[in-house]
């Protein structure tokens, strides 16, 4: 695990965008496709806007990228809470992507269970045709220590057979569809982007506290062979021993 701490969210996003461009382009020198798993939330929204800007949109051959999502709220694509909608609004509608390479989690005219199974089939088919794991998974972390839709005290944390699953999240009164730790941990590279003082307590527990994945599900993200990077700002890192 590598920890990268930057002054604020703006600096973090700029440096991470540069890191991302280099990682994608380096990978595409040795293979012809690149698979990236996008995240929801506020932090990646700012990153998406930066990547879609004139300074960055031409630095990546977007036509070679395949886009997936780490999790989704089971709401329609035109709902503001939908993670895919946020990605289209802030990034995908502004860069030259191949429509067939965008693999959203289906949430309309389908049951949550069928959605999860269908998305797992899509991922399996992609891996059979191309490569056996994701090239990059982008993750965020909530102030409760959750990542993806792996929320504290939810059985989904311990799912060890399915790659994608659905469940009812009572606290949000909705179904969630999520990749599981099983498939995410197979990725070649996983990055967390964490910003803000409201994340400081959870970040300290996840990185330096006793292992308790039931309380801090982000602790379960440990690549089996790939790299793990935490990109955090000083506000989120404020309680870390390594930052004092």
**N-to-C CA span, the chain:** 19
Residue 10 lies in a domain: yes
Predicted pLDDT of residue 94: 97
- Residue pLDDT, tens place only, 195-234: 999 999 999 999 999 999 999 999 999 999 999 999 999 9
Say yes or no to pLDDT of 80 above 80.
yes
Residue 239 lies in a domain: no
Predicted pLDDT of residue 131: 83
Residue 201: in which H helix or E strand, if any?
helix 200-208
For 25, the 3-state DSSP assignment is helix
How far apart are alpha carbons 64 and 25 in whole angstroms? 10
**Alpha helix (H) ranges present in 80-199?**
83-90, 112-129, 181-184
Predicted pLDDT of residue 244: 57
How far apart are alpha carbons 68 and 163 in whole angstroms? 13
What's the domain count of the chain? 1
How far apart are alpha carbons 197 and 143 in whole angstroms? 9
Residue 193 lies in a domain: yes
Q: Which CATH number is 123's domain given?
A: 3.40.50.1360
Residue 240 lies in a domain: no
Percentage of the chain beyond pLDDT 90 is 95
Q: How many CB atoms lie within 10 A of CB 152?
A: 18
- Residue pLDDT, tens place only, 118-149: 999 999 999 998 888 999 999 999 999 999 99
Residue 46 lies in a domain: yes
- Give the residue-averaged pLDDT of 79-104: 97
pLDDT band per the 50, 70, 90 thresholds, residue 41: confident
Residue 91 lies in a domain: yes
How far apart are alpha carbons 79 and 85 in whole angstroms? 7
Residue 146 lies in a domain: yes
Q: Residue 189: give the domain boundaries.
A: 2-25+34-228
How far apart are alpha carbons 184 and 228 in whole angstroms? 11
- Give the residue-averaged pLDDT of 65-86: 97
- Could you give phi then psi for residue 167, rounded to 5 degrees? -160, 160
Read off the pTM.
Answer: 0.97
- Residue pLDDT, tens place only, 174-197: 999 999 999 999 999 999 999 999
How far apart are alpha carbons 3 and 65 in whole angstroms? 26
- Cα→Cα distances 80→86, 87, 198, Å: 7, 11, 23
pLDDT band per the 50, 70, 90 thresholds, residue 40: confident
Contact 151, 145 (CB under 8 A): no
What mean pLDDT, rounded, does the chain reach? Answer: 96
Contact 97, 65 (CB under 8 A): yes
- Give the residue-averaged pLDDT of 51-77: 97
- Give the residue-averaged pLDDT of 29-43: 93
Starting at the edge strand found earlier in the chain, the sheet holding 2-6 runs 2-6, 227-233, 189-194, 136-139, 34-38, 65-69
- Residue pLDDT, tens place only, 10-28: 999 999 999 999 999 999 9
Residue 14 lies in a domain: yes
């Amino acid at each position: 695990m590598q920890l990268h701490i930057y002054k604020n969210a703006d600096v973090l996003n700029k440096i991470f965008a540069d890191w991302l461009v280099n990682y994608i382009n380096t990978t595409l020198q040795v293979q012809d496709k690149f698979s990236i798993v996008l995240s929801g939330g506020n932090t990646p929204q700012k990153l998406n806007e930066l990547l879609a800007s004139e300074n960055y949109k031409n630095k990546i051959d977007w036509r070679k990228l395949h886009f997936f999502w780490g999790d989704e709220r089971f709401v329609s694509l035109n709902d503001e809470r939908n993670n895919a909608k946020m990605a289209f609004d802030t990034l995908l509608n502004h860069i030259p992507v191949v429509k067939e390479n965008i693999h959203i989690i289906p949430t309309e005219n389908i049951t949550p269970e069928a959605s999860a199974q269908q998305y797992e089939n899509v991922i399996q088919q992609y891996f059979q045709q191309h490569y056996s794991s994701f090239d990059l998974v982008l993750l965020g972390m909530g102030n409760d220590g959750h990542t993806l839709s792996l929320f504290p005290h939810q059985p989904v944390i311990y799912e060890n057979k399915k790659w994608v699953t659905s469940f009812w999240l009572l606290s949000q009164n909705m179904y969630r569809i999520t990749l599981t730790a099983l498939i995410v941990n197979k990725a070649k590279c996983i990055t967390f982007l964490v910003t803000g003082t409201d994340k400081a307590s959870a970040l300290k527990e996840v990185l330096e506290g006793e292992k308790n994945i039931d309380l801090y599900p982000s602790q379960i993200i440990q690549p089996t062979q790939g790299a793990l990077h935490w990109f955090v700002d000083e506000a989120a890192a404020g309680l870390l021993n390594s930052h004092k």
